[in-house]
Copies of this chain bind each other. A is one copy, B any other.
Amino acid sequence: MPEYKAPLRDMQFILNDVFHVEKLWQTLTTTQEVTPDLADAILEEGAKICENELLPLNRSGDEEGCQFDNGVVTTPKGFKAAYQTYVENGWQGLGGDTEYGGQGMPKMLTAMFEEMLYSANCSFTLYPALTSGACLAVHAHASEELKTTYLPKMYEGVWAGAMCLTEPHCGTDLGLIRTKAIPAEEGGYKITGTKIFITGGEQDLSENIIHLVLAKLPDAPAGTRGISLFLVPKIKVNDDGSLGDGNGVSCGSIEHKMGIKASSTCVMNFDDAHGYLIGEPHKGLAAMFTMMNYERLSIGLQGIGLGEISYQNALAYAKERIQGRAATGAQQKDKAADSILVHPDVRRMLLTQKAYNEGARCFAAYTAMQLDVAKGHPDEKERAKAHALVSLLTPVAKAYFTDRGFDVCVLGQQVLGGHGFIREWGQEQYVRDARIAQIYEGTNGIQALDLMGRKVVSNHGELFHQFYEEVSVFADSQDFDPLPSMKHLLKEHLELLKDCTEKVIGKSKEDPNIVGSASCDYLNLFGLTAYTYMWARMISVVEPETEFGQSKIKTAEFFLNKILPEAKAYASKVLAGADSLMAISEEEF
């Protein structure tokens, strides 16, 4: 069975040594009770439930999948009990507002726990992750009455959440949705319509499911400015908070998918279902967007978590499996062959996994730190700066974590040779489970457009320059003693990114297709540069005399020599213009 040990040492290094959380958490008004010791204890306990309760259900869950029978969804064996354990131990409310029964832990910490969850059991994790997302939207925009009624039960996990956006004819372009909301005589609204691809839309884990549904009011303007957000419980909630009657919410079917098979992906039918408006009429998309940065980071963590467990198992296999001899002569002379870890190309695959995983973990913590600062810093300017970074970096995090996470899982499968293709070895499931993270929560193509268009071009690079300044000042302030080439390479690639940024902004005025033509390659270039910055941050605080420090230094060196050269290729493609994409006609395809 696949092995997994939560990478606690690396997480502690990132929190304490790289980002100095003790001081940070003291500064923020929202986290003053959080100490590094408490963080350690939470991560250690979190590791236990992941390793002991959730990991053992991962493959059986994949093999069994969710079952659908006449509107009822049954999750795989063991999921209900594991969910009970999960919520009874308070994990659902870990990041929730203390005012409504949450535990108020910072995103930096909950993000690390999420990474572990995705490593151990990606399908399972999606149920609580969607609840967390729904809680964020309710918390940010719902009335006090709705918050008091729903949030405590959702933080407890007794009720779960689901996000109902997509319809059969529209995924990315939500302006096209057809689901209707009409005011109800008894107050509230009647919601009617069909939603697809609803993760956890129906399941047998929680007592109720709170759907957040995008729909159009009768007087709604056309397009995305006419979308409102509604809270629609599966089972109506009485005034005293007890469960009442059913609510015209039903599951029509579940999808048969490539991966995340133990996560139910539902067609949801709303037939005059009673719901409550969240936020203002026609401002539903904006309400969704406030929690989107958290959700997109979470889906990014799916890529990191799956990459991590794939790495751990590929490494274990490479140490055990003997084939061939080292190029420099036999290393394990008592055996019929050497372990495959002697072969440079096997090391290339493992080091690529390691370099991406650790760079990503650090960047996830960095992005989560901006979310925490944006929420809890006493200085408004600091909050605004952090918010700007969050806006800029979230699409990079979501897309780059999941694109590279998928690549990392493919490499981890490759290390096992033929065994990587066989289900019982587990590695192929990570590939299948990682694949969806590049697609949902906004495809990675949409993330790239968001980055290049909304976050870079539309503000003439203002957010970018804030990031540029920070990295530039940091690069100048350090010697990177254990790896002196870092300074030059970080600065060189930061300038390359700046140059591409400015050129695209300049060209975009003449040609509206420039943004979409450059976006994907620009995101990749940005991601590589951001990881370089993270490796630089790690190298600047590492202790070279330790095994852990040596591991970091050698992995960083590999990253600089064998991964970072891709940056210039991305830059060439960013600057290649739109013509070679747009010239071909529909018939010539």
Does A337 make an interface contact (CB < 8 A)?
yes
Does A153 make an interface contact (CB < 8 A)?
no
Q: A323-B173, A516-B343, A566-B569 are in contact. Are A351 and B439 (CB under 8 A)?
A: no
> Range of interface residues on chain A?
35 or more
Does A438 make an interface contact (CB < 8 A)?
yes
Does A346 make an interface contact (CB < 8 A)?
yes
Each complex incorporates copies of this chain amounting to 2
Assembled-state Cα–Cα distance A176/B340 (Å): 14
By secondary structure, the A interface counts as helix
Q: A323-B170, A328-B513, A337-B176 are in contact. Are A439 and B420 (CB under 8 A)?
A: yes
148-165 of chain A: CB within 8 A of chain B: none
Decide if B512 touches A176 in the complex (CB within 8 Å): no
| Pick from B319, B449, B582: contact of A347, CB under 8 Å | B582
Contacts of A443 in B (CB 8 A): 414, 417
Assembled-state Cα–Cα distance A323/B343 (Å): 48
| Pick from B341, B420, B519, B550: contact of A345, CB under 8 Å | B519
Assembled-state Cα–Cα distance A439/B257 (Å): 23
A296 CB to closest chain B CB (Å) equals 16
Decide if B516 touches A351 in the complex (CB within 8 Å): no
| Pick from B406, B444, B562: contact of A580, CB under 8 Å | B562
Q: 1/0 contact trace for A563-589 toward B, CB 8 Å?
A: 001111100110011111111111111
Contacts of A519 in B (CB 8 A): 344-345
Q: A323-B172, A586-B319 are in contact. Are A573 and B562 (CB under 8 A)?
A: yes
A355 CB to closest chain B CB (Å) equals 10
| Pick from B171, B172, B351, B406: contact of A584, CB under 8 Å | B351
A141 CB to closest chain B CB (Å) equals 26
Decide if A520 touches B348 in the complex (CB within 8 Å): yes
Contacts of A410 in B (CB 8 A): 406, 435
Decide if A423 touches B323 in the complex (CB within 8 Å): no
Q: A439-B418, A445-B346, A588-B547 are in contact. Are A580 and B565 (CB under 8 A)?
A: no
| Pick from B258, B323, B444: contact of A431, CB under 8 Å | B258
Does A440 make an interface contact (CB < 8 A)?
yes
Decide if A328 touches B512 in the complex (CB within 8 Å): yes
Assembled-state Cα–Cα distance A519/B439 (Å): 32
Assembled-state Cα–Cα distance A428/B176 (Å): 26
Decide if A573 touches B565 in the complex (CB within 8 Å): yes
A404 CB to closest chain B CB (Å) equals 13
Does A558 make an interface contact (CB < 8 A)?
yes
437-472 of chain A: CB within 8 A of chain B: 438-440, 443-445, 448-449
329-349 of chain A: CB within 8 A of chain B: 336-337, 341, 343-349
| Pick from B344, B421, B580: contact of A435, CB under 8 Å | B421
Does A561 make an interface contact (CB < 8 A)?
yes
Q: 1/0 contact trace for A245-287 toward B, CB 8 Å?
A: 0000000000111110000000000000000000000000000
Q: A418-B166, A423-B257, A512-B327 are in contact. Are A551 and B589 (CB under 8 A)?
A: yes
Q: A566-B569, A572-B565, A580-B558 are in contact. Are A588 and B550 (CB under 8 A)?
A: yes
Decide if B414 touches A589 in the complex (CB within 8 Å): no
A403 CB to closest chain B CB (Å) equals 10
Does A424 make an interface contact (CB < 8 A)?
yes
Q: 1/0 contact trace for A73-91 toward B, CB 8 Å?
A: 0000000000000000000
Decide if A256 touches B420 in the complex (CB within 8 Å): no
A138 CB to closest chain B CB (Å) equals 25
CB closest residue in chain B, given A339: B586
Does A92 make an interface contact (CB < 8 A)?
no
Assembled-state Cα–Cα distance A582/B354 (Å): 14
Contacts of A422 in B (CB 8 A): 255-258
Q: A327-B515, A565-B572 are in contact. Are A348 and B414 (CB under 8 A)?
A: no
Decide if A516 touches B345 in the complex (CB within 8 Å): yes
Does A517 make an interface contact (CB < 8 A)?
yes
Assembled-state Cα–Cα distance A402/B149 (Å): 55
Q: A439-B414, A588-B551 are in contact. Are A256 and B423 (CB under 8 A)?
A: yes
Contacts of A439 in B (CB 8 A): 414, 417-418, 420-421
Contacts of A256 in B (CB 8 A): 422-424
Decide if A517 touches B344 in the complex (CB within 8 Å): yes
Contacts of A327 in B (CB 8 A): 512-513, 515-516
Assembled-state Cα–Cα distance A344/B521 (Å): 12
Decide if B344 touches A589 in the complex (CB within 8 Å): no
Does A374 make an interface contact (CB < 8 A)?
no
Contacts of A179 in B (CB 8 A): none
Does A487 make an interface contact (CB < 8 A)?
no
CB closest residue in chain B, given A417: B171
Please name the 3 residue pairs, one residue from A and one from B, whose CB atoms are nearest each other, closest first: A344-B516, A565-B572, A327-B512
Q: List 18 A-B contacts (CB under 8 A).
A: A256-B422, A257-B421, A257-B422, A258-B428, A345-B448, A345-B516, A346-B445, A347-B582, A414-B443, A417-B443, A418-B440, A421-B439, A431-B435, A558-B584, A561-B576, A562-B576, A565-B568, A565-B569
